[in-house]
Amino acid sequence: MSTLSLLDAARELPAHVALALGEQELSFAELAERVRERMRGLGALAERSPASRSPDRPLLAFRATESLSTLELIYALLELGLPFLPLHARLTEQEAEQLLVRLPVAQLLEPTESGCNIVARSAPALGPQQRDWFEATPQLAALATSGSSGTPHVVVLSRRAFLAAARASAANFGWQSDDRWLLCLPLAHIGGLSVVTRCLIARRPVVLAGPAVPGESSEQRLARAIASGRPRLLSLVPTQLSALLQIEPRFELPPRVRVILTGGAAAPPSLLAACAQRGWPVLTSYGMTEACSQIASERPGSAASAERGCGWPLPGVEMRLSEGDAIQVRGPTLLSGYLLGAEAPLDSQGWFTTGDLGRFDGAGQLHVLGRSDQMIITGGENVAPAEVEAALAACPGVLEACVFPVPDAHWGQLVAAGLRVQREADAERLLEGVCRELERRLAAFKRPRRYALARAFVYGPTGKLDRRATATALLPALRPFPAVLEHSVNRSSA
């Protein structure tokens, strides 16, 4: 197993392609020169010894755009052994600050064309247990993922976990000499970051989609990247798969593509059937940030089974069902812990309870039955109803909000909202104001796409909002939310 070092890769295979961006290709040696420049741009951070690097505030944060500069920064941080927190590129400034202010982030990095601006931050220090994680094991990254209560979970993952996850993935798919993996998932999600680390460890090229051209849709950009970048491995959320199927004129998948790994949300059987009809090599998977991406996956050649689930546990990963069919996982890919959202994610025997429900069929394949919490998954993005309800309730004229999912063939689920407002007669003008306010408060994928006005919601005996009963009562009255733009998909955990 190779190292998580771009400079090591350049010494071993200097002339081999490391990165493809459109027609441009960079060898490991060429990319290493750019990474060394990034390391010099980090200035004093690059000169400190590991023992002197902010032990109480160890994280460096940056906005993780789909760009060459972001990738170079990630390679530089991996080289320096500096753990980092990539921020979703689509977070608003308010959302990013609300997250950062609670985390041990020493500096905010702003990569420039050839260097890096470093902005010092005043931040809380690590707690004693959290400091033990960083002192005992070299950590690679902290990744934010929404919790069902609206409080984000910030997952700490070690370099050891990424190495183990890459080893498990390679054991399942194998690597071929001309493999290259398309990066079309956000780098702030484990699915996107794992493409980078898997390819680095395997000394294989990453393919960047590149910027969209004027008038090009997201699915057309994706199709162009598949055609021009010559990838053989793809990680796509179901929404991306669905969009590719709907391109007109018909998109023909190049025969060189040997694996399309789909995850981040359940792929509808109709979507899998449509892909199979075209001969697309789609493999379903189940994963999460806490397990450093994949936990289970179909194997190449196994997709013809009549009852398709999420595949089989990857080599080195243990899975079981606890009481109530809750899925539990154990193995070397698991998180070190949470910085936010929970205190003790593993039990005394090292098992992690995922929050999902499942079953195993007679062939040992996992089938995920749903979430045990109320998380909405839209286009592969996790949306916490409580967070959206709080943003809606803060809008002028809104008395109360109830947020819930509605099924959608394209996105998997849509975010819907029941609203109690001050003046129903003035609802149209009020909703226009709500849209403007939500643009400031929430990322696009979190904003409601459907709404219904309500005189009252349903409450349980303790006075707590009964979200399910309220949703059932409001479903017939749902209508499109006005002035809401189509959101891009979250590309996660595939």
* Contact (Cβ atoms closer than 8 angstroms) between residue 146 and residue 383: yes
Predicted confidence (pLDDT) per residue in 148-203, tens digit: 445 678 999 999 999 999 999 999 999 999 999 999 999 999 999 999 999 999 99
181-183 and 206-208 as β-strands: parallel, antiparallel, unpaired? parallel
Query: What distance in Å separates the CA atoms of residue 155 and residue 165, rounded to the nearest whole number?
Result: 15
- Range(s) within the chain of domains with CATH label 3.40.50.12780: 6-371
pLDDT on residue 73: 96
Please return the burial class of 120, using the count of CB atoms within 10 Å of its CB with bins 0-12, 13-18 and 19+.
exposed
DSSP string, 422-439: S-GGGHHHHHHHHHHHHH
Which regions in the chain score pLDDT beneath 50? 49-52, 147-149, 484-493
CATH code for the structural domain at 376-480? 3.30.300.30
What strand order describes the sheet that includes 233-236? 24-27, 17-21, 206-208, 181-183, 233-236, 259-262, 282-288, 293-297, 312-313
Query: What distance in Å separates the CA atoms of residue 397 and residue 427, rounded to the nearest whole number?
Result: 9
61 sits in which H/E element: strand 59-64
Predicted confidence (pLDDT) per residue in 423-439, tens digit: 887 888 899 999 999 99
Superfamily for 6-371? ANL, N-terminal domain (3.40.50.12780)
pLDDT on residue 292: 97
For residue 363, count other CB atoms closer than 10 A to its CB: 10
Residues contacting residue 305 through CB under 8 Å, at least 6 positions apart? 363, 365
- Range(s) within the chain of domains with CATH label 3.30.300.30: 376-480
Nearest to 481 by CA among 423, 414, 422, 426: 414
Query: What distance in Å separates the CA atoms of residue 319 and residue 78, rounded to the nearest whole number?
Result: 30
Nearest to 383 by CA among 448, 291, 438: 448
Percent of the chain with pLDDT over 90: 65
Query: What distance in Å separates the CA atoms of residue 363 and residue 365, rounded to the nearest whole number?
Result: 6
pLDDT on residue 54: 66
pLDDT on residue 86: 97
Q: Which residue type occupies 114?
A: S
What strand order describes the sheet that includes 116-120? 116-120, 105-111, 59-64, 84-88, 139-145, 153-158, 337-340
